[in-house]
Structure 1
Amino acid sequence: MCLSAVIGELPEQEKRAALLRAPKLIIFDCDGVLVHSEEITLSVLITLLNAQVTGSFKLDEETYIERFRGRRIAECLREAQGLLNIELDSQFEAHFRHQALAALTLNLKATDGMVEVLQSLTVPYCVASSAPRNKIEHCLRITGLLPYFEGRIFSCYELGRWKPDPLVFLTACATYNIDTADAWVVEDSVTGVQAAMAAHIKVLGFGPPSRHAQLAAAGALPFSDMREVLSLINH
């Protein structure tokens, strides 16, 4: 279901609240929003984790891509060690990041319609991600999006707090001197939606229809085509 259709089904009061206040700042998540990276990096992570297992139980890729989506890698590793009853060595995360960057370099693409959206926006925009800055920049560089975000990157690693903590979104709004009521966040994960909701920022949930229910349940207005961001602003 498209975003405009979702809004059309809201009660009239909520519909007006959703449409009457055009944004003065749009904050994009990176992985899964600007670029199709979550499936690539988390597939690498799950493969490497399963290679550590000697028993029969292993992580199902589809299930755990969704479970780990949008979360800090260190948190995912702690959970995986408990699930798999393994102890990862101190170099595992560095090895994973090296392998993930190699996979991204070979396979990463910008989200369809993303360049069109960025070229058409007439309001300020930025990216706020739970990833380290070097990964954000790497993903944007190899997909050709980095020129759009020079000087517009906010990383949770530089703040020391990760989504669902709202600090990265609050920092972006403060940097642009924009009230949170005048900002929009575009997220693909429940964790990211929770962070936006905690910051009292309207959040659009980007993803295929199969993920719309969980995004909506977290508080987002779900949509599947990035170009719909432009049509919503124009409303």
Structure 2
Amino acid sequence: MCLLADTGELPVQETAAALVGVPKLVIFDCDGVLVQSEEITLSVLITLLNALVPDDAMLDVTRFIEHFRGRKIVECLREAEQLLNIRLDSEFEQYFRKQALDALTESLKATEGVIEVLQALTVPFCVASSAPRDKIEHCLRLTGLFSYFEGRIFSCYELGRWKPDPLVFLTACDTYGIDVSDALVVEDSVTGIQAAVAAHLRVLGFGPAHRHPQLVAAGALPIADIREMLAVFN
């Protein structure tokens, strides 16, 4: 995979367009790429966890949004138990999911420019996410994106393996009959990028400029605006 040495803000032609070859399939992550949900759901999670411990033991919200980004929730909960020296009861995960769903329903928005991108693409595209299918579909419906992805959704929960395992991306490529060398992944998390790299897929790391160094270090070319990815097709 070809990476750029400069990890600062780069012109479009020097980021996405640096990828060689026009993709025949685009695989989007959902949370943090198509919709801006990671900050909402993880803020809810960390707030609920912090309510269980003294002030001096609380998790830093900004740091742990990044730390938990793109990871399986059960894995995050097990790590939080160790970090906070607590034991979560069997109902905590379901309570969190209900609170997160309410927060998403109230505040979730599609990523700026994403509909423009979807309408401009002339190759097949799909979504491959570590989230459960019902959450993926709920987020897409809330933001007016479901019609673009109906019948094009791949969930790690249905495969039993989660990113950074590459299976969800490999399954998408197999379903479309596309070689991994002809597909492009758009991810916002280190975990997702690691999954794409493990599958030998080209990957764009989407996020604000201050996150670009970690996205590049994981193996992605960085973009700060989702519309920058269209440079690949020019």
TM category (shorter chain) comes to over 0.9
Letter matched to residue 5 of structure 1? E
* More displaced stretch, 199-208 vs 50-59: 50-59
Give the AA of the match of 1:147. S
Distance 1:53 1:172, change over 3 A: same
Q: Helix, strand or coil for the counterpart of 1:181?
A: helix
Following the alignment from structure 2 to structure 1, what is the Cα–Cα distance between the partners of residues 46 and 40? 10
Q: Which residue of 2 aligns with 1:222?
A: 222
CA distance, structure 2, for counterparts of residue 227 and residue 188 of structure 1: 14
What is the one-letter code of the residue matched to 1:226? I
* Correspondence for 1:134: 134
Cα distance, 1:229 vs. partner? 1.1
Counterpart position of 1:202: 202
Per the TM alignment, residue 4 of structure 1 is displaced from its structure 2 partner at its CA by 2.5
What secondary structure, in the 3-state scheme, does the structure 2 residue paired with 1:116 have? helix
CA distance in 2, matches of 1:41, 1:55: 21
Percent identity of equivalent pairs: 70
The correspondence of residues 157-172 of structure 1 with structure 2, limited to 5 A, is 157-172=157-172
Contact 2:164 2:195 in 1 (8 A): yes
Q: 2:16·2:229 contact (CA, 8 Å) conserved in 1?
A: no
**Compared CA separation, residues 7 and 105, structure 1 to 2 (3 A):** closer
Match of 2:149 in 1: 149
Query: Which structure's relative contact order is higher, taking Cα pairs within 8 Å and 6+ residues apart?
Result: 2
TM-score (norm 1): 0.93
Partner Cα distance (1:7, 1:193) in 2: 15
Structure 2 unpaired stretches of 5+: 1-8
Match of 1:4 in 2: 13
For residues 169-195 of structure 1, give each alpha carbon's deviation from its aligned partner in whole angstroms, at most 9, with x where no partner exists.
000000000000000000000000000
Q: CA RMSD in A?
A: 1.1
* Unmatched runs of 5 consecutive residues or more in structure 1: 9-14
Looking at structure 2, the residues matched to 150 and 7 of structure 1 have their Cα atoms a distance apart, in angstroms, of 26
Instruction: Give the match's secondary structure for 1:35.
Output: coil
Counterpart CA distance in 2 for 1:128 and 1:6 is: 23
Spell out structure 1 runs of 4+ moving beyond 2 A. Answer: 2-8
Task: Name the counterpart of 2:182.
Answer: 182
In 2: Cα distance, 1:147 partner to 1:34 partner: 13
1:79-119 deviation digits (Å, cap 9, x = unpaired): 00000000000000000000000000000000000000001
What is residue 40 of structure 1 aligned with on the other side? 40
CA distance, structure 1, for counterparts of residue 110 and residue 95 of structure 2: 25
The superposition leaves residues 48-105 of structure 1 with CA deviations (integer Å, 9 ceiling, x where unpaired) of: 0111114621100000000000000000000000000000000000000000000000
Secondary structure of 1:79's partner?
helix
Count of paired positions: 225
> What do the CA deviations read for 1:8-66 (whole angstroms, capped 9, x no partner)?
8xxxxxx5xx23x1000000000000000000000000000111114621100000000
